[in-house]
Every structure is written in C-alpha cells, then in structure tokens.
Amino acid sequence: MLQKETIRLIQESVPLLREYGHKITANFYKRMFNEHPELLNIFNHANQRKGHQQQALANAVYAAAANITQLEQILPTVKHIAHKHRSIGVLPEHYPIVGQNLLLAMRDVLQDKLTEPMLNAWQETYGVIADLFIQMEEELYQQAEQQPGGWRGFRDLVVTKKVRESEHITSFYLEPKDGQPLATFLPGQYISVKVEIPGDPYTHIRQYSLSDDPNASHYRITVKQEENGKVSTYLHQEVEEGSVLSVSAPAGVFTLEQTDSPVILLSAGVGLTPLLSMLKALAQSPSSQRVIHIHATHNSQTHALREEVLRIANSHAHIENYFCYSQPTDTDRLNRLYDKEGLIDAEWLKTVLPSTGHFYLCGPSAFMRDCYQALLSLGIAPAAIHHEIFGPAGAWTPPAAAPMGATQ
C-alpha cells in the first residue's frame, strides 16, 4: 500500500505528466537503449521510430498517476500490457532497468519542477506497480507452460503451408517442429514471432493474431506486408514452406465475452484476423445467438479470406455478413461483390445493427475511431464495445474516454 503522502505527491505530478509525458518517455527510451542495447532484441523498433511506444508509455504513466487512489481502474490496461510482456519475454530483471531510467528521464525533463519528495514518491509507486506486473506476468508464464501443449518462452514451429490471400496479405500455417501437440487458444488471441534477419544485429519480435479455428492442429497467422515493414517483408519474401519460426504461446485479452447477446464483429483491412477466429468459434457454438460480421476494405483485390468468410456465413442461418468496399473496381460493381460502397458510417450501421449486444472492433486507428464514435452515437454503451489495436497497449484510446495521454 502506498503512503498517503506518496499519493498526494503523485496526484500533484499529474499536470506535469499531462504536459511533459511524451518528452519524458522519449528521453527514457533513448537513455535506456544507450545503456542496455540488448533490450533492442525485445522492443519493436518500428513503434519506437514512429513514436507509438513513447506515447503508449506516456498514456500508461499518466493513467497510473490519475488513478493512483483506485489503481483497479487501470487493471484492464495492466492485463493487456502483461500479456504482451509475457509474449515477448519480459523478465523480472528488466524492471529495475526500466525504473531507474524512467526516474532519470523524469529528472532530466522536469528538472526543478520535479521535487526530491516527488521523485521519491514515484520511486515508491513504480516499485508497487512493477511488483504487480511481475506477479501477473509470472502467473501468465505458468498458465502458458502448464496448459496441454503449452510452453514457456519461444518454441520452433514449421511453416507447413504459405497461402497468398490478397495482393498484400499472406497466411502462414504453423505446426510444431517437435511433433508434440499445440496449446489451444481463445479466439482473438495472438502469438509473438521472433525472427533473425540476415545482416541485422538484433532479433525482431512481432505479434500476429491467430486467424483460424482454435481447435485446429495448427496455428495460422495472416500477415499484411506493410510498407517499409522489416518483419512483414521478411516473412512475405524470405519465409517459405519448411522454414522454421520461433513463436511464443498464445496471449491477449481481446476475446469473446460469455453471453447470449448478439455479437457484432467490425473489422477493416488485416484487422479481420482476430475476428475471423471469433467468427469460426461462434459458427461452431451450439448457441444460436445472432452474429453480424462486417468487414471493410478497398476492393476485392485487397480483400483477404473473402470466400472463407462467405462459406461460414452462408452455412449458418444465425450469421449475417456484410462487405464494405471504399474503392470498388468495375468488376466489383458489375458482380455486386459488396454490400455497401464507401466508408462505414452511423447512418448505415443503424440499418443493420441491433440496439444491444457486444461489439468487437479491429482495424486501422482511423477506422477504430470512426466506428467507435458511430456506435456511441447510436446509443451503444462504451462497456459493450471491445477493441484491439495492432500496436503498443495504450497507443490508441477510445475518443470518448477521459484524456490519458501527454501532449506530443
């Protein structure tokens, strides 16, 4: 438990974090990687370069300070981060390194605005939060290892099949190199893939949602080749059938709620991957709850796994499916390969959605923002809207939420 004076001092620092949070975290990462370059084998270089990781940490630190008297309010974010940490191999010995460099960064940026008592308060608070993460992550390591077919750390999986799904998206089917069973997973979860790229001094770890049936004897990841994406390009161009990938056990908290209410799956682009796994699970469920699947993409050329989704929807009466093309081709128009032209908006959603249910969003940040706001405008409660952003936990927050970030 934190001392009352510690809590008061942390609350006093909230305006400073709101104003200087991003500068603090930028200073922190630069300092830490200079002192401990080996940590570049764990952290995502692209997120560092784009500033996403810095903003995510700024949001998390601000949220901890703003909710210091009720830290249970940030438990969902803590769980999200803990799952990510477990999947990439964060260990207890990393936390003192992070804490030391974070406090030094706060001192560097805030200078005389940060009093010695305030710095001591943050040291005490960091210790409490770090212990919470260490305990939660060890529980997750044990769960991953002790489940049937589970393991701790990384395991070699063989690419048994590589399938091009669209002009920029490819699926990789993975099976254990040792021939032993694979752990099952919850629909919506992801795995971390660690690769060594020739000529690069560091390993690279990326998360990819599992896009197939949780009960299959293999894993499937469906990867978009991103512009200037080092790992996605390596997977697309260099990894072939028979290649071996180093993979951590499934992780993630973006999973289906246990409910009989309608389920609405809203995705765009490669954001379809976790929702397709959910769709497959819902199709196999004995429940006849209403399921609505909506996917947005440019056109049929960018539309991955289209036929797979149609087979599921057409063979289950309780599943409705809608495709939205923002830039349909002439062939798309001629053959009516989509249900809505243009972007998804509240006016159209009102015609196809129920007034209640659980809503799952996954896609680019602009898509997430627009859909979230559209659902709120239709009277959907924020607690019924679940989302997954492909990036650091906390890098995107629902627009209706209280500000959790620092200025950029």
Q: How many CB atoms lie within 10 A of CB 245?
A: 21
**Is 270 marked as a binding-site residue?**
yes
**Annotated binding residue at 53?**
no
Is 271 among the annotated ligand-binding positions? Answer: yes
Phi, psi of 11 (to 5 degrees): -60, -35
For residue 68, give Cα distances in angstroms to 14, 75, 80: 10, 12, 19
Q: Is 85 annotated as a binding residue?
A: yes
Point out the catalytic residue in the list 29, 126, 137, 325: 137
Known catalytic membership, residue 95: yes
Residue 338 is labelled as binding a ligand: no
CA 335 centroid distance within chain: 35
By DSSP bridging, strand 319-325 and strand 340-341 are: parallel
**Pairwise CA distance, residues 276 & 267, whole Å:** 9
Q: Is 337 annotated as a binding residue?
A: no
Q: Which of 29, 95, 173, 322 is catalytic?
A: 95
**269 labeled binding residue:** yes
Burial class from Cβ neighbours inside 10 Å (0-12, 13-18, 19+) for residue 249 reads: buried
Identify the CA nearest to 160 among candidates 246, 239, 223.
239
> In angstroms, how far is the first alpha carbon of the chain from the final one?
32
Is position 372 annotated in a ligand binding site? no
DSSP letter for 302, please. Answer: T
219 is in an annotated binding site: no
Residue 22's contacts (CB-CB under 8 Å, 6 or more residues apart) are 51, 54, 55, 58, 405, 406, 407, 408
357 is in an annotated binding site: no
Per-residue exposure over 129-157, b if at least 16 CB sit within 10 Å of its own CB, e if not: bbeebbebbeebbeebeeeeebbbebbeb
Binding residues for NADP(+): 269-274
Enumerate the active-site residues: 95, 137
Residues of each annotated binding site = 85, 190, 206-209, 269-274
**Which residues define the annotated binding site for heme b?**
85
User: Which amino acids are annotated as binding site for FAD, given as ranges?
Assistant: 190, 206-209
